[in-house]
Structure formats: C-alpha cells, structure tokens
C-alpha cells in the first residue's frame, strides 16, 4: 500500500490533484474498498494505485511523431513502450477482476448462509405459531372447564338453598 503523497511523487502531481481525480468517475466508484484511512493518512491498495496512475498517464501519440530516425528505432521503441503499458493495464484489470470475482464469491456464500438462516427462522416461526395455537386451545379448554365448574357449583348451591327453604317453611308452618 502506498500513501497519496507517495503516489503523487511517483506520478509527478500534487496530492490535491489526486484527491480531485478521486472525487470524479471512474475513480469515485472504482476505488471502493481499495483505499483505507489510518490516522488521517489515506493509503491505496495496489489495485487502486494502478487505477489512479491510469488517470494521469495519457497514452503517447504514436502518429504525432514529428521526427523519425532513419532506422525507425525510436518508433519501434515507442511501440514497445505502448505495448508494455497496455500489458500492464490488462494485468491490472485482470487482478481487479479476480478481486471482484473473489468478492462476489464471498458475498454469494454470505447470501446463501443468510438464506439458510431465513429458512430456519421460518421453520422455527411456524413451530412457535403452532405451539401458540395449541396453548390457546388448552387455555380455552381450561376456561371452559372453569366456567362449567362454576355453573355446576352454582346449580348445587341453588339446590341446597331450595332444600333449606323448604325445610324452613315446614318449620314455620308447624310453629303456627
């Protein structure tokens, strides 16, 4: 990892120029997870370094050469430089794709795990709902038995009271 200051020195620009480029696309979204801040210093991962450097290095204009040596060696060397630059960019893009594919794989596994958790929680919820329904039915049965018991007690009490009323009436009739 390199600091923005180090990258600026390598590229030959200011830190502010790099920060300005980082605020704009494609760097704004491309550098996600490729930078980190530690103690106020921004560090850039190697994949991010290449992306930043690409924004500042323009491809040489091959066809804009005004002077070519008799043997054409300057043009050939320039072509080799261009080819090497393109190979480096392709290698960097391949590494970025590998990193993204790994990131996608990790996220996919995480999503699969979350889906399994959701499925397990759904089953647990169904069991809990069934248990709650059973508990409600049992409670309703208990309430029903309690009410029936109260009615039976009430009827017994009414019969006893009616018996004693009849006896009292007989006693009053004999006392007259």
Residue 166: per-residue pLDDT? 62
Q: Is 66 a residue whose pLDDT tops 70?
A: no
SS (H, E, C) 86-125: HHHHHHHHHHHHHHHHHHHHHHHHHHHHHHHHHHHHHHHH
Q: Is 127 a residue whose pLDDT tops 70?
A: yes
Residue 46 DSSP label: H
Burial track 86-116 (b if 16+ CB lie within 10 A, e otherwise): eeebeebeeebeeeeeeeeeeeeeeeeeeee
Domain ranges for the chain = 1-57
Report yes or no on whether pTM surpasses 0.75.
no
């Amino acid at each position: 990892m390199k600091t923005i200051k180090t990258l600026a020195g390598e590229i030959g620009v200011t830190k502010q120029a790099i920060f300005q480029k980082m605020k704009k696309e494609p760097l704004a979204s491309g550098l996600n997870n490729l930078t980190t801040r530690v103690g106020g210093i921004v560090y850039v991962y190697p994949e991010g370094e290449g992306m930043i450097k690409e924004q500042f290095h323009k491809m040489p204009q091959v066809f804009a050469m005004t002077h070519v040596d008799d043997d054409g060696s300057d043009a050939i060397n320039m072509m080799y430089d261009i080819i090497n630059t393109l190979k480096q960019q392709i290698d960097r893009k391949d590494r970025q794709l590998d990193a993204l594919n790994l990131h996608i794989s990790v996220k996919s596994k995480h999503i699969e795990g979350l889906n399994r958790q959701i499925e397990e929680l759904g089953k647990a919820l169904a069991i809990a709902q069934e248990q709650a329904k059973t508990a409600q039915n049992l409670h309703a049965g208990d309430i029903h038995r309690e009410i029936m018991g109260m009615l039976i007690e009430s009827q017994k009490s009414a019969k006893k009271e009616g018996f004693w009323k009849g006896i009292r009436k007989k006693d009053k009739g004999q006392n007259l």
